[in-house]
């Protein structure tokens, strides 16, 4: 016999709920506009996307209510109508507010749209469905965060690589700003000074992303801004907003691998950071020649080792900043420190060789320390002076003339 198929009570309830979806969607948007101050500040396009998601969610709930087993993926699929940029328009917290507002609106409105017998079953199902939607929203935002994190990591590596290669320009500054880099102290200071730090990376199993995140967090806790990237077996950190990078790096040392950590000289800004980077990289290469070097060590403390390893900048710096001042005037300081070093660091032997009083030797050696920053009586400084004098004579045979 060809009569009408008799529908179940549950299916009839689902049909009545389906008929109310338009009114529920309209009421949901009105509730958002009324209860969420930030919603009205969105652009018309963004409000439209949210409206589509709300409509999609309510329609998906009806299908899920009709047959939860057949439509188990509905809570996740309801976000399919929103563009990828949706997660950048509103935060996860705001999404939760939207869901809460929509659920509260449905619970308040459903009694006016459906028979009283339908309300308990619909409300119970809505609670279960809302939980699934919340999990789906969290998944969407987690995936977006992973994608953004991966992109940020690539961008950060590009910025650091540009600094190392000396290609920092306005585009690099713009990319760094997109990563949140300000180059100023995170504790309220206004310093924009920058220093580059280079050391060995931890073993691969530590995870480059985790190390970079930890270094940035630790640097900001210490009051500095930071960019960080792995380059093969080395870890490069660009510190900003601090004139005392060594103090900051002491708090980051645990995130570097074994071996030396070299801190480049402080420069005025990110655009000049190649000078600091070049010195730090050269210092890392030369650091094994000074087994007793502190950790971290400043690149300028490694000038003699850097010059011996072929760093032309270190050679010129020693010749101009150390040897050069000693050649000024009549050159007695140069003769005195040279004789002192040749005499095995003996003041008395120096005085005898130069036919002067020992106190005169002491005075001149003190002046050497004041002019160059290196005390001849300190073994490490004496070594630096010895290398500087050798390089000065090689690079500038005529005392008193300028260095190239």
pTM: 0.63
CATH architecture of 190-300: 2-Layer Sandwich (3.30)
Choose the weakest-confidence range: 24-28, 145-149, 176-180.
145-149
Q: What is the pLDDT of residue 404?
A: 46
Q: What is the C-alpha separation between 97 and 331, in angstroms, rounded?
A: 78
pLDDT grade for 326, boundaries at 50, 70 and 90 = very high
Average pLDDT of 349-364? 96
pLDDT grade for 81, boundaries at 50, 70 and 90 = very low
Orientation of helix 9-19 relative to helix 44-66, angle to 10° = 170
The residue ranges of every structural domain in the chain are 9-148, 190-300, 312-395
Could you tell me the fold of the domain covering 312-395? Arc Repressor Mutant, subunit A (1.10.10)
- Per residue in 238-252, pLDDT (tens digit) is 999 888 899 999 999
**Identical fold, 190-300 and 312-395:** no
* Pair type for strands 297-298 and 261-263: parallel
Task: Tell me the two tokens of residue 174.
Answer: 């713009």
331 φ/ψ sector (left φ>0, alpha ψ -120 to 50, else beta): left
Task: Tell me the two tokens of residue 34.
Answer: 């009324």
- Per residue in 134-176, pLDDT (tens digit) is 666 666 555 555 555 555 667 787 888 888 887 767 777 777 7
**311, 209 Cβ separation under 8 angstroms:** no
Choose the weakest-confidence range: 20-29, 163-172, 314-323, 381-390.
163-172
């Amino acid at each position: 016999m060809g009569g009408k198929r008799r529908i179940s009570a549950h299916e009839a309830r689902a049909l009545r709920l389906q008929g109310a979806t338009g009114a529920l969607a309209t009421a949901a948007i009105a509730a958002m506009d009324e209860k969420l101050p930030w919603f009205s500040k969105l652009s018309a396009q963004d409000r439209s996307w949210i409206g589509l998601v709300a409509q999609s969610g309510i329609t998906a709930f009806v299908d899920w209510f009709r047959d939860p087993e057949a439509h188990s993926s509905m809570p996740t699929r309801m976000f399919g109508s929103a563009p990828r940029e949706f997660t950048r328009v509103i935060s996860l917290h705001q999404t939760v507010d939207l869901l809460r507002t929509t659920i509260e609106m449905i619970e308040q409105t459903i009694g006016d749209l459906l028979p009283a017998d339908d309300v308990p079953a619909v409300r119970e199902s809505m609670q279960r469905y809302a939980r699934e939607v919340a999990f789906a929203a969290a998944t969407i935002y987690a995936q977006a965060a992973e994608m953004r994190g991966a992109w940020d990591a690539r961008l950060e590596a590009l910025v650091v690589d540009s600094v190392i290669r000396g290609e920092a320009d306005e585009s690099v500054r713009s990319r760094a700003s997109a990563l949140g880099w300000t180059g100023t102290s995170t504790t309220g200071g206004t310093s924009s000074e920058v220093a580059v730090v280079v050391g060995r990376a931890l073993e691969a199993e530590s995870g480059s992303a985790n190390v970079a995140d930890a270094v940035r967090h630790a640097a900001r806790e210490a009051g500095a801004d930071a960019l960080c990237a792995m380059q093969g077996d080395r870890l490069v950190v660009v510190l900003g907003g601090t004139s005392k990078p060594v103090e900051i790096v002491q708090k980051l040392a645990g995130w570097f691998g074994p071996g030396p950590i070299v801190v480049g000289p402080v420069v005025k800004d990110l655009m000049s950071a190649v000078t600091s980077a070049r010195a730090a990289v050269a210092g890392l290469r030369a650091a094994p020649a000074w087994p007793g070097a502190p950790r971290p060590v400043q690149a300028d403390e490694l000038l003699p080792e850097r010059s011996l390893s072929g760093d032309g900048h270190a050679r010129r710096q020693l010749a101009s900043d150390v040897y050069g001042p000693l050649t000024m005037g009549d050159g007695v300081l140069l003769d005195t420190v040279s004789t002192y070093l040749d005499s095995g660091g003996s003041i008395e032997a120096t005085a005898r060789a130069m036919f002067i009083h020992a106190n005169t030797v002491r005075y001149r050696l003190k002046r050497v320390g004041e002019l160059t920053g290196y005390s001849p009586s300190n073994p490490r400084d004496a070594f630096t002076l010895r290398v500087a004098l050798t390089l000065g004579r090689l690079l500038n045979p005529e005392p008193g003339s300028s260095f190239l």
